Amino acid sequence: MLDAHLQITQGPFELDVRIEAHPGSVIAVLGPNGAGKTTALRAIAGTLALDGGHLRVDDVELDNPTTGTWVPAEKRQVGLVHQDLLLFPHLSALENVAFGLRARGASRAVARGDAMRWLDRFELGELSASRPSTLSGGQAQRVALARALATEPRVLLLDEPLSALDPATRQATRRDLRRWLDGFEGITVVVTHDPLDALTLADGVVVVEQGQVAQAGTIVEVTARPRSRYVADLLGTNLLHGIATGTTIAVGAATVATADALDGPVFASVSPAAITVHRGEPEGSARNRWPAVIEAIDLLGDRVRLHTTGILPLVAEVTPAALAELDLRTGDAVWLAVKATEVRVYLR
C-alpha cells in the first residue's frame, strides 16, 4: 500500500498531492509540464524531502517532516526509471541490471545470474554484453525497466516512460509495458503528460494541475465523469475495449468503423466532442450511427456532457445552444453519429 501526501514548497511553487495505491495496481500521475509531477516522483524516490504531509509504503514511514522520519533513497524499496533512462554508460546491459543486486549484497555470481534471467525475460539475452550507447531506444528502455525491477521494489516509478521513444517504438513499447506491469506485484506509479499513457497503462489516475490534484479516481470514473473542464479535455474521452478485424472493431454487441486497419485486441478512443447528436437517424458521411437513450446531462463550463445508454454507452458533448435547440432531456431517445476518422485505435 502506497500512502503519500506530498507537500513541497519550491519558491512560489507549491505541491500538495495525495497518491494512494494498492499492490499490483498502476496509478498514472497525469498533468502538463510544470504541474509538479516529477517533483512528486522525486519525493517518493527519496531525492527530495517533503516539507509537509507524509510518505508510507506498506505501513512503513519513509518521510514525515512532522515526526522527523527520513529514510534515504538507498534504503527505500523504490525503483525509478528515469525519463532519460540513465543507464550507466560504463557498464554493460548485464552489469547495469546486476548493479542493484550487487549493491544489496548479492555475490557477483548470484547477481549476474539473476540479471541474466531478467534480461532473458525482456528478450534482451543476446545483448547482455552490449554497452548502453549501442542499444536502440526500445532496448535501452527495457534494460532500464529490468534494472529497476531486478531489485524487487515495492514501488516502481516510471517517469514519462514513452516520451523518449520514436512514435513507432512507442506503440509497441506501450503494449509491452502493459504486459510487463501486469506481472509486477508491487505498486507502479507512472508519471506522464500523455492521456493515452494513463488510459492504456493505468488502473487509477491522479490528474495534477499547478501542484494540486484536479481529480483522482479509477480510469473508468474519471473518463466518464470528469469534474472540471480541464480534466474533461484531458481525459474525458470514450474509451472502448474491443477486437479489431481490419477497419471494424467489435465492442460488445456493437461494431465501430475506423479508418486505421488493425487486427486483434485494441483500445479505441472517441472524443465526446466528435460525436454528433440527432433526433432522428442521421444521413451523411458518418459511418458510425447508433440509437441511444440519454441517461444524464452534466453541465461542465461552456459545454454539456450527455451520458447515454444503448448498445454502445457513450458520452457526447454539445453546446448549451444545441441542447436548447434539440430540446434534449433525460430519458429522450436520440441517434449518435461519429466519423470513422474520429475513432483512434491502439493495439492492446
Q: How far apart are CA 282 and CA 270, in angstroms?
A: 18
78 contacts other proteins (rule: CB under 8 A): yes
Is 115 or 165 the residue whose CB approaches other proteins more closely? 115
Is 71 or 340 the residue whose CB approaches other proteins more closely? 71
Q: CB 243 → other proteins: shortest distance, Å?
A: 40
Site string for other proteins, 159-198 (x = CB under 8 A): ----------------------------------------
Is 38 or 218 the residue whose CB approaches other proteins more closely? 38
Q: CB 29 → other proteins: shortest distance, Å?
A: 18
90 contacts other proteins (rule: CB under 8 A): yes
Q: CB 22 → other proteins: shortest distance, Å?
A: 22
Cell 521494489 belongs to which residue?
A: 153
Q: CB 185 → other proteins: shortest distance, Å?
A: 18
31, 36, 53, 79: which one binds other proteins (CB under 8 A): 79
Is 80 or 222 the residue whose CB approaches other proteins more closely? 80
72 contacts other proteins (rule: CB under 8 A): yes
Q: CB 42 → other proteins: shortest distance, Å?
A: 9
73 contacts other proteins (rule: CB under 8 A): yes
- 10 Å CB burial of residue 263 (0-12, 13-18, 19+) is exposed
Is 47 or 134 the residue whose CB approaches other proteins more closely? 47
54, 112, 142, 147: which one binds other proteins (CB under 8 A): 147
108 contacts other proteins (rule: CB under 8 A): no
57 contacts other proteins (rule: CB under 8 A): no
Q: How far apart are CA 50 and CA 14, in angstroms?
A: 11
Q: Which stretch binds other proteins (CB under 8 A): 80-88, 181-189, 212-220, 294-302?
A: 80-88
Residues for the chain: how many in total? 348
Amino acid at 98: A
Q: Give bridge partners of residue 268 from the DSSP assignment.
A: 240, 345
99 contacts other proteins (rule: CB under 8 A): yes
Q: Which stretch binds other proteins (CB under 8 A): 71-79, 126-134, 253-261, 337-345?
A: 71-79
Within 13 A of 61's CA, how many CA atoms are on the CB side? 12
Q: CB 100 → other proteins: shortest distance, Å?
A: 3
Contact 70, 55 (CB under 8 A): no
Q: How far apart are CA 145 and CA 186, in angstroms?
A: 14
Site string for other proteins, 257-296 (x = CB under 8 A): ----------------------------------------
Backbone angles phi, psi at 94, to 5 degrees: -60, -45
Is 106 or 262 the residue whose CB approaches other proteins more closely? 106
133 contacts other proteins (rule: CB under 8 A): no
The residues of the shown chain that bind other proteins, judged by CB under 8 A, are: 45-47, 72-76, 78-80, 82, 84, 86, 88-90, 99-100, 103-104, 147-148, 151
